[in-house]
Amino acid sequence: MDYSPGLRGVVAGETAISTVGMEGTSLRYRGYDAIELTKNSTYEAVASLVINDSLDEADYKKSFSKYYLQISKDKNLNQLLEEVKEKLSPMDVIRTVVSYMGELTTLMKKKLDNQDKVELTARINATVCYIIASYHKDDCDELDDSYLVASSMLPNNANKEKIEALDDMLILYAEHGFNASTFAARVTASTRSDLTSAIVSGIGTLKGELHGGANEEAVKLVNSFNSIEEAENEILKMLEEKKKIMGFGHGVYKIQDPRSDVVKKWVESLIETDFSKNRFEIAKKIDEIMTKEKKLFPNVDFYGGLLLSELGFEVDLFTPIFVAGRSVGWSAHCFEQREQDTLIRPAAKYIGIEERE
């Protein structure tokens, strides 16, 4: 059998949910261009599309609102949340609380109707959003009717532009084929385990810096420089020492990451302070150097961290926001994997000693 390290290029299953990197640049959710969806749809509509192939957002909004309200009033959950927040990082808090919440039904059923799927996904989504909101000092209890999910994670005083920017970010995070965390979730679902277990598998996988944690590392790198000149000198030195620069290149996209330009434009639009302007100029210089020296383009993580900073989020909440967006993609893949009902069990290339007495 042919061997491909990291399963690069190996077709490991079939999906009708998304296509990633076709013709080198595109990202489509069930046939719709994801970039166009940021212009014409809300995250709730995209969530419905990813889950059950419909852009009608009404059911998803209704379910999300119901569960967000329930969670906010759940005394046991809020007590647990306060306890674990004192001991764990936000990603570990999300993994723990999502596991605690469980679900209304399980994937043990062979067939779930669309309402089941929406209910299950919205419950997980609402849980993650509520946890993120709990880290803000200001209240986050006034939800925008047009952008329920995005507004649930921002303080009540957030302006419309910031809510729309976060909504676009969530749309671009919603789904991305057989990436590491989605594949982990599908492996768990393939055993006929429950949805919560599959989502927790995804959360644990996304936590790694080579996957969801890349946005945190990218913005930490940008923040480490005080000037464009310092950034240029240090990045060239890092490249000479063959150190990895987070936020550049992609395992599937070969020409550019189509999501990056959308995020970059939002960063530029939201800049209000000299500090933010300087940070953006530093980021653009790093982008320029990576293009010139390594022929590498920025992926969604590079400018994504800057956008989340402009929206007022602390660095350790960047990956949790990724979870909030990607939870619908994970759920859709789990539903699809269970309907296919095929256990994922690849072979391994043995490289040890052949035989011992």
Distance CA 31, CA 18 (A): 7
Structure tokens at 349: 């290339």
Residue 25: the pLDDT is 66
CB 317 within 8 A of CB 90: yes
Of the residues 168, 250, 257, 333, only one is catalytic, namely: 250
Q: What is the DSSP letter of 29?
A: E
> What does the H/E/C string look like for 101-151?
HCCCCCCCCCCCCHHHHHHHHHHHHHHHHHHHHCCCCCCCCCCCCCCHHHH
Residue 10: the pLDDT is 85
113 tagged catalytic? no
Q: What predicted TM-score, i.e. pTM, was given to this entire model?
A: 0.93
Structure tokens at 198: 């599959």
Of the residues 53, 116, 211, 261, only one is catalytic, namely: 211
If we measure between CA atoms, which residue out of 190, 197, 174 comes closest to residue 338?
A: 190
Residue 210: the pLDDT is 82
Tokens 């940070």 -> residue: 279
Task: Return the amino acid letter for 343.
Answer: L
Residue 330: the pLDDT is 98
Residue 24: the pLDDT is 58
Structure tokens at 194: 């429950």
56 tagged catalytic? no
Residue 103: the pLDDT is 66
- Point out which residues pair with 248 in neighbouring strands: 298
333 tagged catalytic? no
Go through the domains of the chain in sequence order and give each one's CATH number.
18-209+316-340 (1.10.580.10), 214-310 (1.10.230.10)
If we measure between CA atoms, which residue out of 210, 213, 231 comes closest to residue 222?
A: 231
Per-residue pLDDT of the chain (357 residues; tens, 9 = 90+): 688 888 888 888 999 999 997 665 689 999 999 999 999 999 999 999 999 999 999 999 999 999 999 999 999 999 999 999 999 999 999 999 999 987 655 555 556 788 989 999 999 999 999 999 999 999 998 999 999 999 999 999 899 999 999 999 999 999 999 999 999 999 999 999 999 999 999 999 999 888 888 888 899 999 999 999 999 999 999 999 999 898 898 777 777 889 999 999 999 999 999 999 999 999 999 999 999 999 999 999 899 999 999 999 999 999 999 999 999 999 999 999 999 999 999 989 999 999 999
Residue 150: the pLDDT is 98
Of the residues 59, 194, 257, 301, only one is catalytic, namely: 301
